[in-house]
Amino acid sequence: MPKHTLTGNIKRHRAFPSTILGNRRDVLVYLPRSYRRFSRQRYPVLYLQDGQNVFDAATAFAGIEWGVDETAERLIHKKLIEPLIIVAIAHMGEDRIHEYTPTRGVIDVRAKRKKRSRGLARLYGHFLIDELKPYIDRKYRTKREPEFTGLGGSSLGGLVTLAIGILYPHAFNRLMVMSPSIWWDDFAIYRLVDSIGHKLPLKIWLDTGTAEPGWEQARELRNRLVEKGWKLRDDFQYMEAQRADHSEAAWAARVEPALRFLFPPARRVD
C-alpha cells in the first residue's frame, strides 16, 4: 500500500492532557471540506484509537497508515457517507496495553515474572467521555448526542471499543470493531457481552480476517451479539475478509465498508 500524506483539513492538538489518566497524548482532528463553507452545520464524530496509524504514514506502525482521511474525503465527495469529523487519539506506547484492556489479564506468560495489564479500559473510557469529548464538542461544531457519536479501533483498540460501547452506551452508539483481541483474559469480552440484560442502542461493525490466528472467535462473538438481539445488516454488520491478516494494511482496506455502514448519507426529508 502506498504511503500517504495528511489529506484535507486536519487540526493537530499536541500533548492533550488527561487528569484522569495522568498523561498527555497527541490528538488529530479531521474536518470535512464542507466544515468551512457551512458555518452553522453540525457533524457526527468518530473517535479512533491508535491515532498514530489513522492518517499519517510517518507515525504509523511499520509506516503503513489506515488512510482514513483519504477514504473519508472520497466517500463524502461521492455522497456515500455523511460528512463527519474524525478524531484520531494517539496511544501511549507501553501503556497502550493497560488503557486498551478491560481486565487485568496477563500480558506475557513466557516472562519469568508475569507481566500484568492494569486493565484501565474503564478509566480510559472516562478520559474519552469526561475530558476529550467535552473538549472536542466545545472546539468544533459537533452533534453531541450519543446516536451521532462513534468509536473505533483494531486489535486491542477494537477490544476496548466494544468494551467501552457496552459499558458506556450513553456516550457512543456507533462502533467500528476491527479484528478485536477477543482472546484477551480468557475471552473476557464474551463474559461482558453475556452480562448484558438486553440489547443496547449500539450500531456495530465487527470484522476479522480469515488469515488471523483464532479468527473464528469473531464468529462466536457475532453469534453472542445476535443472541442478545442485534440484527445483521440492520444494526449489526459482520465481515470475514478472506485471506486478510492482522495488519494495518488489512484494516485500511476495510475502512470504506465500515464507514459506509456506520455513517450512511442522511435521508432527505421533503
Separation CA 135–CA 123 (nearest Å): 17
In 3-state terms, what secondary structure has residue 64?
Answer: coil
Closest CA to 49 of 97, 100, 11, 102: 100
Asked, for residue 203, whether it belongs to a domain, the answer is yes
Asked, for residue 49, whether it belongs to a domain, the answer is yes
Q: Which residues pair with 18 in a beta bridge?
A: 23
Separation CA 20–CA 86 (nearest Å): 23
Question: What is the number of residues in the chain?
Answer: 270
Q: What is the phi-psi region of residue 219: left when phi exceeds 0, alpha when psi lies from -120 to 50, beta otherwise? A: alpha
- Residue 234 is predicted with a pLDDT of 96
Could you tell me the CATH number of the domain that includes residue 189?
3.40.50.1820
In 3-state terms, what secondary structure has residue 130?
Answer: helix
- Residue 109 is predicted with a pLDDT of 56
Q: Going residue by residue through the chain (270 aa), what tens digit of pLDDT does each one get?
A: 444 566 678 999 999 999 999 999 999 999 999 999 988 999 999 999 999 999 987 787 767 789 999 999 999 999 999 999 999 999 999 999 999 999 998 877 565 667 789 999 999 999 999 999 999 999 999 999 999 999 999 999 999 999 999 999 999 999 999 999 999 999 999 999 999 999 999 999 999 999 999 999 999 999 999 999 999 999 999 999 999 999 999 999 999 999 999 999 987 655
- Residue 200 is predicted with a pLDDT of 98
Asked, for residue 2, whether it belongs to a domain, the answer is no
- Residue 5 is predicted with a pLDDT of 62
Determine how many CB atoms are found less than 10 A away from the CB of residue 197: 6
- Residue 3 is predicted with a pLDDT of 47
Asked, for residue 28, whether it belongs to a domain, the answer is yes
Contact 32, 71 (CB under 8 A): no
Amino acid of residue 258: A
The structural domain count of the chain equals 1
Strand pairing category for 115-116 and 106-108: antiparallel
Asked, for residue 269, whether it belongs to a domain, the answer is no
- Residue 56 is predicted with a pLDDT of 82
Closest CA to 162 of 227, 97, 206: 206
Give residue 248's domain range.
9-262
Q: Cα 132 to the chain's mean position, in Å?
A: 15
Asked, for residue 267, whether it belongs to a domain, the answer is no
Closest CA to 46 of 25, 23, 18, 69: 69
In 3-state terms, what secondary structure has residue 212?
Answer: coil
Separation CA 140–CA 111 (nearest Å): 46
Closest CA to 20 of 123, 109, 142, 133: 123
Strand pairing category for 45-48 and 106-108: unpaired
Separation CA 42–CA 141 (nearest Å): 5
The pTM is what? 0.95
Asked, for residue 52, whether it belongs to a domain, the answer is yes
3-state helix, strand, coil in the chain (%, to 5): 35, 20, 40
Asked, for residue 115, whether it belongs to a domain, the answer is yes
